[in-house]
Amino acid sequence: MANRIAVSSKVEDARAESLLRNLKALFPKSALEGASYVQAYTIDAKLSPQELQSVAERLTHPVTETYSTDKVSAPEKYSYAIEIGYLPGVTDNVGHTARQTIEDCLGRNLGDGGVYSSYFLFLSGAISEEEAHKMARELHNPLIERATVYRNGADYKIIVPRVELHEHTTTDEVNLEIDDTELARIGKEGVRNADGTRRGPLSLSLKQLKVIRDHFKKQKRNPTDIELESLA
Protein backbone atom coordinates (compact mmCIF):
# COMPACT_ATOMS: atom_id res chain seq x y z
CA MET A 1 0.00 0.00 0.00
CA ALA A 2 1.33 3.41 -0.95
CA ASN A 3 1.53 6.25 1.55
CA ARG A 4 1.64 9.97 0.94
CA ILE A 5 3.29 12.71 2.95
CA ALA A 6 2.08 16.24 2.25
CA VAL A 7 4.27 19.13 3.39
CA SER A 8 2.99 22.71 3.51
CA SER A 9 4.59 25.96 4.58
CA LYS A 10 3.67 27.81 7.78
CA VAL A 11 5.10 31.03 6.35
CA GLU A 12 4.67 32.84 3.03
CA ASP A 13 5.59 30.45 0.24
CA ALA A 14 7.57 31.90 -2.67
CA ARG A 15 6.55 28.99 -4.90
CA ALA A 16 2.85 29.73 -4.43
CA GLU A 17 3.40 33.45 -4.96
CA SER A 18 5.33 32.87 -8.18
CA LEU A 19 2.74 30.48 -9.62
CA LEU A 20 -0.10 32.79 -8.64
CA ARG A 21 1.61 35.74 -10.30
CA ASN A 22 2.12 33.76 -13.51
CA LEU A 23 -1.48 32.52 -13.61
CA LYS A 24 -2.86 36.01 -13.05
CA ALA A 25 -0.74 37.26 -15.93
CA LEU A 26 -2.00 34.47 -18.19
CA PHE A 27 -5.63 34.85 -17.10
CA PRO A 28 -6.07 38.57 -16.33
CA LYS A 29 -9.88 38.39 -16.54
CA SER A 30 -10.25 35.51 -14.09
CA ALA A 31 -11.41 35.98 -10.51
CA LEU A 32 -8.38 34.10 -9.17
CA GLU A 33 -7.46 35.51 -5.76
CA GLY A 34 -4.89 33.30 -4.07
CA ALA A 35 -2.87 30.10 -4.19
CA SER A 36 -1.44 27.69 -1.63
CA TYR A 37 1.36 25.22 -2.39
CA VAL A 38 1.70 21.74 -0.89
CA GLN A 39 4.64 19.45 -1.68
CA ALA A 40 3.70 15.77 -1.76
CA TYR A 41 5.77 12.58 -1.57
CA THR A 42 4.18 9.27 -2.51
CA ILE A 43 6.01 6.28 -1.04
CA ASP A 44 5.31 2.99 -2.79
CA ALA A 45 6.81 0.78 -0.10
CA LYS A 46 5.64 -0.94 3.06
CA LEU A 47 6.15 1.30 6.09
CA SER A 48 4.91 0.88 9.63
CA PRO A 49 2.96 3.79 11.17
CA GLN A 50 6.01 4.62 13.26
CA GLU A 51 8.30 4.60 10.22
CA LEU A 52 5.90 6.81 8.27
CA GLN A 53 5.87 9.30 11.15
CA SER A 54 9.67 9.34 11.35
CA VAL A 55 10.01 9.80 7.59
CA ALA A 56 7.47 12.64 7.57
CA GLU A 57 9.38 14.45 10.30
CA ARG A 58 12.65 14.02 8.39
CA LEU A 59 11.15 15.48 5.20
CA THR A 60 9.70 18.51 7.01
CA HIS A 61 11.46 21.62 8.32
CA PRO A 62 10.30 21.80 11.95
CA VAL A 63 10.19 25.61 12.08
CA THR A 64 8.73 26.67 8.74
CA GLU A 65 6.73 23.63 7.61
CA THR A 66 4.03 21.25 8.75
CA TYR A 67 3.01 17.86 7.40
CA SER A 68 0.13 15.43 7.13
CA THR A 69 0.26 11.74 6.24
CA ASP A 70 -1.98 10.15 3.60
CA LYS A 71 -4.46 13.05 3.73
CA VAL A 72 -3.56 16.36 2.12
CA SER A 73 -4.28 19.30 4.41
CA ALA A 74 -6.19 21.79 2.27
CA PRO A 75 -6.62 25.47 3.18
CA GLU A 76 -9.93 26.51 4.69
CA LYS A 77 -11.06 28.36 1.58
CA TYR A 78 -10.29 27.29 -1.96
CA SER A 79 -12.17 26.59 -5.18
CA TYR A 80 -10.04 23.99 -6.96
CA ALA A 81 -6.88 22.02 -6.37
CA ILE A 82 -4.45 21.04 -9.12
CA GLU A 83 -1.93 18.25 -8.62
CA ILE A 84 1.11 18.15 -10.90
CA GLY A 85 3.35 15.09 -10.98
CA TYR A 86 5.66 13.24 -13.33
CA LEU A 87 4.56 10.57 -15.78
CA PRO A 88 5.86 7.00 -15.30
CA GLY A 89 9.50 6.62 -16.29
CA VAL A 90 10.34 10.33 -16.22
CA THR A 91 13.33 11.35 -14.07
CA ASP A 92 12.07 12.71 -10.75
CA ASN A 93 14.99 14.44 -9.02
CA VAL A 94 12.93 15.56 -6.02
CA GLY A 95 11.58 12.04 -5.59
CA HIS A 96 15.09 10.59 -5.90
CA THR A 97 16.45 12.93 -3.22
CA ALA A 98 13.49 12.13 -0.97
CA ARG A 99 14.16 8.42 -1.40
CA GLN A 100 17.75 8.85 -0.23
CA THR A 101 16.52 10.81 2.80
CA ILE A 102 13.94 8.12 3.59
CA GLU A 103 16.44 5.28 3.30
CA ASP A 104 18.87 7.14 5.57
CA CYS A 105 16.08 7.69 8.07
CA LEU A 106 14.99 4.04 8.04
CA GLY A 107 18.47 2.60 7.83
CA ARG A 108 17.44 0.27 5.04
CA ASN A 109 17.00 0.16 1.28
CA LEU A 110 13.50 0.40 -0.16
CA GLY A 111 14.36 -2.22 -2.78
CA ASP A 112 11.77 -2.29 -5.55
CA GLY A 113 9.76 0.41 -3.80
CA GLY A 114 9.51 3.88 -5.26
CA VAL A 115 9.29 7.47 -4.05
CA TYR A 116 7.53 9.99 -6.27
CA SER A 117 7.12 13.74 -5.91
CA SER A 118 4.19 15.92 -6.91
CA TYR A 119 2.68 19.18 -5.77
CA PHE A 120 -0.79 20.51 -5.10
CA LEU A 121 -1.76 24.08 -5.90
CA PHE A 122 -4.94 25.19 -4.14
CA LEU A 123 -6.64 28.05 -5.97
CA SER A 124 -9.05 30.45 -4.29
CA GLY A 125 -11.48 32.83 -5.93
CA ALA A 126 -14.65 32.55 -8.00
CA ILE A 127 -13.09 30.61 -10.87
CA SER A 128 -14.94 28.08 -13.01
CA GLU A 129 -14.00 24.44 -13.54
CA GLU A 130 -13.15 25.27 -17.14
CA GLU A 131 -10.74 27.96 -15.96
CA ALA A 132 -9.16 25.53 -13.49
CA HIS A 133 -8.51 23.03 -16.29
CA LYS A 134 -7.04 25.77 -18.49
CA MET A 135 -4.75 26.79 -15.64
CA ALA A 136 -3.71 23.17 -15.14
CA ARG A 137 -2.71 22.98 -18.79
CA GLU A 138 -0.47 26.01 -18.32
CA LEU A 139 1.15 24.57 -15.21
CA HIS A 140 2.47 21.33 -16.67
CA ASN A 141 4.28 19.85 -19.64
CA PRO A 142 2.09 16.98 -20.91
CA LEU A 143 5.09 15.22 -22.43
CA ILE A 144 6.62 14.53 -19.02
CA GLU A 145 3.97 15.50 -16.46
CA ARG A 146 0.38 14.75 -15.51
CA ALA A 147 -2.16 17.20 -14.12
CA THR A 148 -5.26 16.36 -12.08
CA VAL A 149 -7.94 18.90 -11.15
CA TYR A 150 -10.02 18.44 -7.99
CA ARG A 151 -13.06 20.34 -6.84
CA ASN A 152 -13.29 21.66 -3.29
CA GLY A 153 -13.96 18.79 -0.93
CA ALA A 154 -12.87 16.02 -3.28
CA ASP A 155 -10.71 13.11 -2.18
CA TYR A 156 -7.17 13.43 -3.46
CA LYS A 157 -6.43 9.94 -4.69
CA ILE A 158 -2.91 8.62 -4.29
CA ILE A 159 -1.39 8.22 -7.75
CA VAL A 160 1.63 5.94 -8.11
CA PRO A 161 3.40 6.60 -11.43
CA ARG A 162 5.03 3.20 -11.44
CA VAL A 163 6.46 1.88 -14.70
CA GLU A 164 4.56 -1.28 -15.60
CA LEU A 165 6.73 -3.70 -17.54
CA HIS A 166 4.84 -6.10 -19.77
CA GLU A 167 6.48 -9.27 -20.96
CA HIS A 168 6.98 -9.31 -24.72
CA THR A 169 7.68 -12.70 -26.28
CA THR A 170 8.01 -11.18 -29.75
CA THR A 171 9.13 -7.91 -31.25
CA ASP A 172 6.80 -5.77 -33.31
CA GLU A 173 7.60 -3.94 -36.51
CA VAL A 174 6.96 -0.20 -36.45
CA ASN A 175 5.87 1.33 -39.74
CA LEU A 176 7.53 4.72 -40.18
CA GLU A 177 6.17 5.24 -43.70
CA ILE A 178 3.47 7.55 -42.37
CA ASP A 179 2.72 11.25 -42.55
CA ASP A 180 4.60 13.81 -40.46
CA THR A 181 1.76 14.21 -37.95
CA GLU A 182 1.69 10.52 -37.06
CA LEU A 183 5.48 10.29 -37.14
CA ALA A 184 5.78 13.18 -34.68
CA ARG A 185 3.20 11.49 -32.47
CA ILE A 186 5.41 8.41 -32.17
CA GLY A 187 8.20 10.66 -30.91
CA LYS A 188 5.97 12.45 -28.42
CA GLU A 189 3.74 9.59 -27.23
CA GLY A 190 5.63 6.42 -28.10
CA VAL A 191 5.02 3.27 -30.09
CA ARG A 192 1.40 2.28 -30.40
CA ASN A 193 0.33 -1.00 -28.78
CA ALA A 194 -2.18 -3.37 -30.34
CA ASP A 195 -4.92 -2.00 -28.05
CA GLY A 196 -4.30 1.57 -29.22
CA THR A 197 -2.46 2.77 -26.11
CA ARG A 198 0.98 4.37 -26.32
CA ARG A 199 4.13 3.25 -24.49
CA GLY A 200 5.37 6.69 -23.47
CA PRO A 201 7.46 9.44 -25.07
CA LEU A 202 10.60 8.49 -27.00
CA SER A 203 12.00 12.05 -26.93
CA LEU A 204 12.76 11.80 -30.64
CA SER A 205 12.15 14.82 -32.85
CA LEU A 206 10.46 14.62 -36.24
CA LYS A 207 13.82 15.29 -37.89
CA GLN A 208 15.46 12.43 -35.97
CA LEU A 209 12.64 10.04 -36.83
CA LYS A 210 13.00 10.89 -40.52
CA VAL A 211 16.72 10.06 -40.34
CA ILE A 212 15.86 6.73 -38.67
CA ARG A 213 13.21 6.06 -41.31
CA ASP A 214 15.70 6.72 -44.13
CA HIS A 215 18.23 4.40 -42.49
CA PHE A 216 15.84 1.45 -42.34
CA LYS A 217 14.47 2.27 -45.79
CA LYS A 218 17.95 1.59 -47.17
CA GLN A 219 17.82 -1.77 -45.41
CA LYS A 220 14.43 -2.37 -47.04
CA ARG A 221 12.70 -3.11 -43.74
CA ASN A 222 10.88 -1.48 -40.83
CA PRO A 223 12.56 -1.07 -37.43
CA THR A 224 11.33 -3.19 -34.55
CA ASP A 225 9.84 -1.59 -31.46
CA ILE A 226 12.93 -2.57 -29.46
CA GLU A 227 15.28 -1.03 -32.01
CA LEU A 228 13.31 2.21 -32.09
CA GLU A 229 13.06 2.47 -28.30
CA SER A 230 16.79 1.77 -27.92
CA LEU A 231 17.55 4.77 -30.14
CA ALA A 232 15.51 7.13 -27.95
- pLDDT tens, position by position, 180-199: 999 999 988 888 887 778 88
Average per-residue pLDDT for the chain: 92
Residues in the chain: 232
* Entry pTM: 0.71
Over residues 44-66, the mean pLDDT reads: 97
Over residues 208-213, the mean pLDDT reads: 91
| Other Cβ atoms within 10 Å of 15 Cβ, number | 15
**Digit-coded pLDDT (tens) for 68-85:** 998 898 998 999 999 999
Percentage, residues of the chain above pLDDT 70: 97
Q: Which of 100, 120, 121 is nearest to 22 (CA)?
A: 121
Task: Report the distance separating Cα 98 and Cα 52, nearest Å.
Answer: 13
Q: What are phi and psi of 205, to 5 degrees?
A: -75, 165
Q: What fold does the segment set 3-151 form as a domain?
A: Mth169; Chain: A , (3.30.1280)
Domain ranges for the chain: 3-151, 180-230
Residue-level pLDDT at 165: 62
* Of 166 and 155, more confident: 155
Asked if pLDDT for residue 166 goes beyond 80, the answer is no
